[in-house]
Amino acid sequence: MNLATTTVARPEAPAAPDQGTVRFTKDGAVARLVFDRPSARNAMTWRMYEELAAACAAIAADPSIRVAVLRGAGGKAFVAGTDIEQFRAFSSGNDGIAYEEKVEHYVGGLEALPVPTVAVVEGWAVGGGMALANACDFRVATPGARFGVPIARTLGNCLSASNVQRLAATLGVSMVKRMLLLAETPVAEELPPGYVSIVPAEEIDAKVEELCARLAGHAPITLRVTKEILRRLARDPHAADSDLVRETYGSADFREGVEAFLAKRPPNWRGV
């Protein structure tokens, strides 16, 4: 008697959600961060935010790094907000408070980096991506790149006061109202003069490298102290600065700058 064996195919386990990653590499004096989740236009997951924070800590601890470049993978978006799926776990307004505090921690950490930062925007920088690009010191974008926080049309949430303040300080209140109240996502060409450098896609890499070379060649203490003074002034127009002035004028780099200028030679900045 023949016994037939029937094999019942087991259903495959669902694929784990793509949590994305933030790739951090060091190229000489340049730190490069890539938001890598192109299947979701690089929308940030908590894992990616944590990796961003770890990369910022590594950059701040490495005196050989003089500039940081942030970019989205795939060429279609810088960062398209925060992964919406994560909001399904929210059950009360307290979850919103905790969320905005976490976002403030990550965006504030990027803003406080001691080296100049450059956001390279190809495509979309919206929601959390707008906050991250805005926290950078410079933005370079391809023509037609879009910026905004259209939450009045999409999620119905709000930004924290600190993130609204950052946007207003760089874009002006009128543009922020267009983004937040009208839920517009203006193209780079519509943004205030000086906010973003617009470069054809085929030239953007060269433009970024040129910008990095200029920044890396400048006095690192001057850059770091200037960034910190601007950060303090954004919160307090009468912010103390004596610690920063004392550090700068007491540095070996300041003495080197004076001697190099008088000797008509390029200075050798060491960051001390």
Mark whether 154 and 67 lie in a shared domain: yes
Quick one: 122 exposed, middle or buried, by C-beta within 10 A (0-12, 13-18, 19+)? buried
Mark whether 248 and 161 lie in a shared domain: no
pLDDT given at position 12: 54
In a domain, 94, yes or no: yes
Amino acid at 63: P
Mark whether 141 and 178 lie in a shared domain: yes
Inter-residue contact 36 to 23 (CB < 8 Å): yes
Mark whether 207 and 242 lie in a shared domain: no
Burial 69-85 (b: 16+ CB within 10 A, else e): bbbbbbeebbbbbbbee
In a domain, 15, yes or no: no
**pTM for the predicted model, two decimal places:** 0.90
Q: Which pair of tokens denotes residue 272?
A: 């001390």
The tally of domains found in the chain comes to 2
Mark whether 32 and 51 lie in a shared domain: yes
In a domain, 141, yes or no: yes
Query: Each residue's pLDDT tens digit in the chain (272 positions)?
Result: 444 433 344 445 455 678 899 999 999 999 999 999 999 999 999 999 999 999 999 999 999 999 999 999 999 999 998 888 888 889 899 999 999 999 999 999 999 999 999 999 999 999 999 999 999 999 999 999 999 999 999 999 999 999 999 999 999 999 999 999 999 999 999 999 999 999 999 999 999 999 999 999 999 999 999 999 999 998 899 999 999 999 999 999 999 999 999 999 999 999 99
Q: Which alpha helices (DSSP H) does the chain contain, by range?
A: 46-60, 93-111, 128-135, 161-171, 173-180, 204-216, 220-235, 242-249, 252-263
Structural domain for 66, as ranges: 21-215
